[in-house]
Structure 1
Amino acid sequence: MPTKDATKPLTLTERARRAQLIGVAIDLVARHGYAGTSLARIAEAAGISKAAVLYHFPSKDAVLRAAYAAVLESLVEFVGAAVGPRTGAPALEAYIRSLVEYMRVHPDHTRMIIESLVAESGAPDGPGRQETVAGLITAAVAAGDYRAGTDARATAVIVNGAIDAIVSAGLADPSFRTADAAEQLITMLSGAYRTS
């Protein structure tokens, strides 16, 4: 089967098939890990041939990159909608709550993110996330919600580490109350940094 011509727009059927393959890849990575998700496994789970998968994506890695991008897009949209209308400390609090909530509701997406980051870099956190949180902390200081002199970078590292630990505990034990843990993190930040 020939490969899809990248210069032509996707048809409705092609978009639907790509979406199906992305969904299958997310599910397989969540269950079997990045290394355990093969092109053959993707094809079998989708009920099509490997050649049909390769028509839509040039390789297994291309499918997995598309799946990772779809998960990140969904996550950013969800968190962005929660943070968007807020400023200062409430924006940081909305970020924490919405990120933890998204990860709780979408454990397969969480595993996809973790597997992809580990497979790509061996590091569970990228500079973009740290900069985002540091920016929210800097905005909270500028709004007068957090004390002047709050170290945005160090606090961002602490917040991201705490979020990672909350999400990890939730993945390991579905009865762990991640929303309560997120509220505890917010309470700790308020106690340490709030001006009033």
Structure 2
Amino acid sequence: MATKRPGGAPTLTEQARRAQLMTTTIELVADKGYAGASLGAIAAAAGITKAAVLYHFPSKDLLVHAAYEQVLAALTGAVAAAVEAADAADGPAAYVRAMIGHLRDHPRHTRMIVEAMSRGGADYAPEVRWGPLARIIDGAAEARGAENVDSRTLAIVVGGAIDSIVSERLHDPDYDTERAAERLAELVESALTP
């Protein structure tokens, strides 16, 4: 087995292997749960030895955490891009559509997030979840001239609605999340209409 370069950045080959291992981990955790994604199962799915997995990630927990962080980065990147592309007044609706759309289009990412949260691996202060949306709501309220908008409560309610819509899709693949996202966006719009 190759050795890591002391103090150096990972080689392109190492970066590619780490990416492969994270993708494989996301797939296994989504399909079989945390318990079903053993280091041996991850290694077998990646076509390498368990020792090779441990070369890149010293433990299963660190590998799963890295995969979870990759999923979150993809989600937040997609949502941020949609919000940035929208006018401030339309930011909350863009957030709702992008969040639900991304999770609909990446069901394994959704299951990875659910699994991490159910294991306590998604430990964060609640404001980390509702804070960004509350700031987007504040910007929309200002752009629309809407006063007395309780952005914190609205962000918490919208976040819960998004969770419920995404959860319903996991249980019923035929559930129309695009339509649900539009209805939720309309509700948010009405709350921001002066």
Q: Does TM, normalized by the shorter one, top 0.5?
A: yes
Residue in 1 aligned with 2:101?
101
For these two proteins, the number of residue pairs brought into alignment is 194
Instruction: Extract structure 1 runs of 4+ deviating beyond 6 A.
Output: 122-125
Q: Which residue of 1 aligns with 2:86?
A: 86
TM-superposition CA deviations, 1:50-100 (whole Å, max 9, x none): 100001111111111110111111112211111113233311111110110
Encode CA deviations 1:27-48: one digit per residue, 9 max, x unaligned: 0000111233111111111111
Match in the other structure for 2:51: 51
Q: Secondary structure at the match of 2:34?
A: coil
Distance (Å, rounded) in 1 between the aligned partners of 2:178 and 2:25? 28
SS in 2 for 1:91: helix
Query: SS of the residue aligned with 1:120?
Result: coil
Write the distance in 2 (CA, Å) between the matches of 1:131 and 1:35. 32
Q: Distance in 2 between matches of 1:38 and 1:167?
A: 27
Structure 1: gaps of 5 or more residues:
none
Residue aligned with 1:153, SS: helix
| 1:125-144 superposed matches below 5 A | 126-144=126-144
Q: Which range moves more in the overlay, 97-106 or 114-123?
A: 114-123
Matched residue, 1:169: 168
How large is the Cα RMSD of the aligned pairs?
2.0
Closer, same or farther: CA 123–185 of 1 in aligned 2, 3 Å:
farther
Q: Write the mapping of 1:56-75 to structure 2, written as runs, cut at 5 A.
A: 56-75=56-75
Deviation of the 1:126 alpha carbon: 4.1
Q: Percent identity?
A: 46
CA distance in 2 between counterparts of 1:20 and 1:110 reads 19
TM-score normalised according to structure 2 size:
0.92
